Amino acid sequence: MMRTTALVLFLLVAIPTGARAATCDGAGPTITSVTLHDLTRTRYLDLYHLTATVTNLGNQAQPGNVLQFVDVVQYGARLDDRGVPPLAPGQSYTVSYIWPRSTDAGKMTSPLDFHIRLAEPALSCAPAKGRGITV
């Protein structure tokens, strides 16, 4: 396996999220960053190591029984998800995702979007849109 840290293969799309959370009178879980950390190459696959950080930008803690996820989405279809624990105001949580792609795939041709999904939204403000990355 060959490892490289060529971070030139990604494009981070920043979507403003602070404005909505600033007026939130409850918990406001928001994707605050999506980052490509590494690329591992195998004979047939490139493995993109990604992380997404969720921060509660609201002014209240989330209840202990909240169910929420970071969904990994491509072209509107959910590919996978990662659970996120309840967050206090200002607290962050980072999830990891490995995206396998063929070594023959064109670079920067696969957009991935990361969204918050609240399965039990009690005392939470509506989450912001999310963040995307193209690998």
Answer yes or no: is 12 within a domain: no
Q: What is the pLDDT of residue 69?
A: 95
Domain that holds residue 60: 21-125
Residue 63 lies in a domain: yes
**pLDDT given at position 71:** 96
**Which residues, at least 6 apart from 56, have a Cβ–Cβ distance to it below 8 Å?**
27, 28, 29, 30, 62, 87, 88, 89, 90, 91, 92
Domain contains 6: no
Beginning with the edge strand found earlier in the chain, give each strand of the sheet holding 29-41 in spatial order: 2-4, 29-41, 45-56, 92-102
What domain count does the chain have? 1
Q: Is residue 133 part of a domain?
A: no
Residue 77 lies in a domain: yes
Residue at 82 is within a domain: yes
Q: What is the mean pLDDT of the chain?
A: 78
The confidence score (pLDDT) of residue 80 equals 96
pTM of the model: 0.74
CATH of residue 64:
2.60.40.10
Task: For 102, list phi and psi in degrees, rounded to 5.
Answer: -60, 145
Supply angle C-alpha 134, 71, 78, rounded to 5.
Answer: 80
Across the chain, which has 135 residues, the per-10-residue mean pLDDT values are 33 38 70 92 92 94 92 94 95 96 84 89 57 63
The answer to the question of residue 3 being in a domain is: no
Cβ-based neighbours of 104, under 8 Å, separated by 6 or more: none
Collapsing DSSP to helix, strand or coil, 87 comes out as coil
Residue 34 lies in a domain: yes
The Cα diameter of the chain in Å comes to: 51
